[in-house]
Amino acid sequence: MNNVNAVLDSPPSELPKVLPRLFAKLLEPNQDAVFLQNYTGAIKSRFRSEYTPGDGVPGLSTLGKACLASGIVRTMLTITKQKVKCPSREHHIAGHHALDSLVQFLQTGTLPERRSILEEMVRYDAVNICLEKLDNGLCFHRHLAVSALRAMAGESFLGENISPSTAADIIYAMCQFTLEGPASFVQEMASPATGWQSQMIMGSQGMKPERSGPYGCRYYAMAQESALWAAHGLLCRSPPPNRQFCLDILKKKPEVLDLLFDCAVMDRPAWYPEMETDTIACEVLALLFHYPLHIVPGVSMSPAIDAAFKVQEWKTMGQSLAILTSRKDWAAKIIDVWEKVKEEDWGKIKNMFDRVQKEYYTQNPLDEKAFQQIFSYRGISRIVILRLIATVTHAADRCGVTNVELESFLHIAYEGSFKIKGSADHLNEKDAYTLIERSEEVFRSPLYTVTTKQAVDDVPEHIADESVMGPTALTRLLVNLAQRNVFDVIQGLTKPPKDLSFTTSLQHIQQITHPDVISRFLKIALQRVKDRCETGRRRTRENDLDYARVAFTSAAELAAALVAFDDLTRGKYSEEVHGARRELVLSLGNASEMAMRKTQYQRALNFALGALTAAGRIPAGDLPVDSSVVAKNQRRVKQAQEALGLPSLPASPPQ
């Protein structure tokens, strides 16, 4: 090992000479396995010592830059994919070190360096190497294959460098791995023939099978999370993938939807109670159907922009949603995720937390903070389901969504609209956990922003908290039912509609669609719009412009749904939604201003045009907007058009 370190510690001027010779020697046919193990292990350890999570990334060291220039990517990938007849333990460890060294190497680089490393990894077939390793007979190879894909997707830019077809293959493989279960990991770590892996995994020699076997469950569960983070990283990109990319994934492997739903309803395992695998699966589903960032669902921007959106992105989104609604029991799968979260007993989770260190040998005890995090994960699963329901309603007719499917979703959106006790109330333990759960939202950047401490221009994933997302989903369902003129039909039913979900009842859907209940709900929903706008204004004062924009656009989406419902019900509930059109104008105008300050001119243009269009549709008797608000939006339109080099587009003036 002294010779290994002597080579790696060569003066900078010598590295371009010694490293190519070293890499060539590593690739010599029939190279000694111990030699390979020692050198690949030393290189991995050196890269690992140069990476400190949480401190930002200083970039590749002199050694790292010389390694990249000398062909380390090709060398290590060649070693890790080598097939040796009757491989020894040292061969296996060398192959593991080789791939792991590239994972460590990738994480030490700046973003441009990561991109360069990733492009070389793709060029030398790293993706297929990892996918093939998922069939390896040793669990530490399978675990590392998943970790490597996660690093390439989340810590770098794999999604930008592969086709939708390859992305579909990866997501499919990651879901299959996640659903396999831990049995093979446990058997290998407890077996005399393969139990030696435990010293690599747990960092201790001579581990007894009765200890290493149970830990194999946790080891596998951590790989499950990595697998779905890999899938997530392919889609959570800045800028986000276009809708065609996601559609092509679903065309290639429509069954990934079924697999993701299966992952989303996985039971929480006793050996890994802090699991967020189910929640990550939900987020991947949301990303597959995420609206473009320059569009607010249900908001009319201008005739020209609306027409372009329908021809381009909405057509693609509609096709994606049609694939979703064509899957067997798709609506039941959405409901199952909600019910799984709803029925989970937090007392049982607490009991798992108390037992896991003793029974499954966690390296560190799980504390109260980790326990509270569970409720954040649960909250994300809930708002993703509400987001999916709201999104589907925009294509319900096109996708053949039936009345009974819409009716089966009502209780979910209704429950998601409940008021919860706030932090100012006297909360018992259960209420405190519920507050964490119902206050959770998604505002997620790519994973590499965490380790590099570098922000992105486009935060690709955002879903409002339940106080907004619940009313949005429920209002959109009511819009669909109003379009179909079924409220009176529902109230007149004497038995449940055929195929109504067993999780609800005729009495329940009649209650939710009763005029008195709708009236009370609409008042609450309008107040939620105002509250969300206030959140946006507060974040504006804090100069958190990206979050503020998202707060305003989510308020606008709910306001637009209220306006659509009022239009369809011909003023029956106009008193309850009085002022919603004004709130729509204000929220869109504020969103435009946030985008303008961030030089996001297409968004600024769309939102300002939407504000002007909405202002022009406020009827007499409703709350008007001040002429200064209209003038501000007209200025924003002009400024955005000039910045984009566009000719003036007609905007709808207030009537």
Q: What is the pLDDT of residue 655?
A: 38
Which of helix, strand or coil describes residue 571? Answer: coil
Those residues with Cβ within 8 angstroms of residue 298's Cβ, 6 or more apart along the chain or in another chain: 394, 476, 557, 560, 561, 564
Q: What is the pLDDT of residue 427?
A: 85
Q: What is the pLDDT of residue 382?
A: 99
Look up the pTM and report it: 0.95
Cα 598 from Cα 288, distance rounded (Å): 26
Picking from 639, 638, 589, the residue whose alpha carbon sits closest to that of residue 613 is 589
Give the HSE-up count for residue 270: Cα atoms under 13 Å, Cβ half-sphere: 8
Q: What is the pLDDT of residue 651?
A: 53
Picking from 191, 208, 197, the residue whose alpha carbon sits closest to that of residue 140 is 197
Question: How many residues are present in the chain?
Answer: 655
Q: Which residues pair with 442 in a beta bridge?
A: 463
In this prediction, the residues of the chain whose per-residue pLDDT falls under 50 are 653-655
Those residues with Cβ within 8 angstroms of residue 447's Cβ, 6 or more apart along the chain or in another chain: 154, 155, 229, 233, 236
Cα 557 from Cα 529, distance rounded (Å): 9
Q: Which residues pair with 443 in a beta bridge?
A: 462
Q: What is the pLDDT of residue 99?
A: 98
Phi, psi (rounded to 5 degrees) for 527? -65, -35
